[in-house]
Amino acid sequence: MERTGLLHLYYGDGKGKTTAAMGLALRALGSGKKVVVLQFLKGGQSGEIPLLEQLGAKIYRGKAGQKFVFQMNEAEKAATRDLQNRNLAAAMTEDADLLVLDEAGSAWELDMVDKALLQKAVLARPAAQECVLTAHAAPQWMLDAADYVTEMKCCRHPYQRGIAARKGIEY
């Protein structure tokens, strides 16, 4: 069967990767499509999640605790890795028109997901399933496989001036 679902990659050090992915999820939901979102390494509530759920998206997210990976001990890393793998395996069983794998690049880079399972989720997904990946630093296989590649480059950001993330804007 010919592949009709394309692969989108939003990556880079600029703001907007998750925002773009969630905007596409909203567009798909508004067109009656089934959407599954998996957010790797994100635990806190962010503004788009309740609304996407209300509109029918299936959301998988969380990590074992609220620490950044670099702050975790080995047991916490193992628990988070296990949660990420379970979430990914569950997301792969969903009948989705659009699969969003937010922070897939970071999960890959930080070895917080079974790499073979992540590649299978992306490269062996159903032929009609659209897929979105976000990454700070995209591994080469993601760059090679993607049909859409958008690099977000930070030219200026309020955080550089000491302005903290604001509810409803950055999260």
> pLDDT per residue over 26-56, tens digit each?
999 999 999 999 999 887 778 899 999 999 9
Tokens representing 74 are 């080995």
Regarding pTM above 0.85, the answer is yes
In terms of Cα–Cα distance, which of 74, 129, 78 is closest to 101? Answer: 129
- pLDDT at 157 (0 to 100): 78
Position 63 pLDDT exceeds 80: no
Q: Residue with structure tokens 């609220």?
A: 66
Which tens digits make up the pLDDT trace of 78-128? 999 999 999 999 999 999 999 999 999 999 999 999 999 999 999 999 999
- The H or E element containing residue 107 is helix 104-109
In terms of Cα–Cα distance, which of 122, 35, 110 is closest to 80? Answer: 110
* Per-residue b or e along 38-51, where b marks 16 or more CB atoms closer than 10 Å to that residue's CB: bbbbbeeebebbee
Q: How far, CA to CA in Å, does 132 sit from each of 18, 66, 100, 119? A: 10, 25, 5, 13
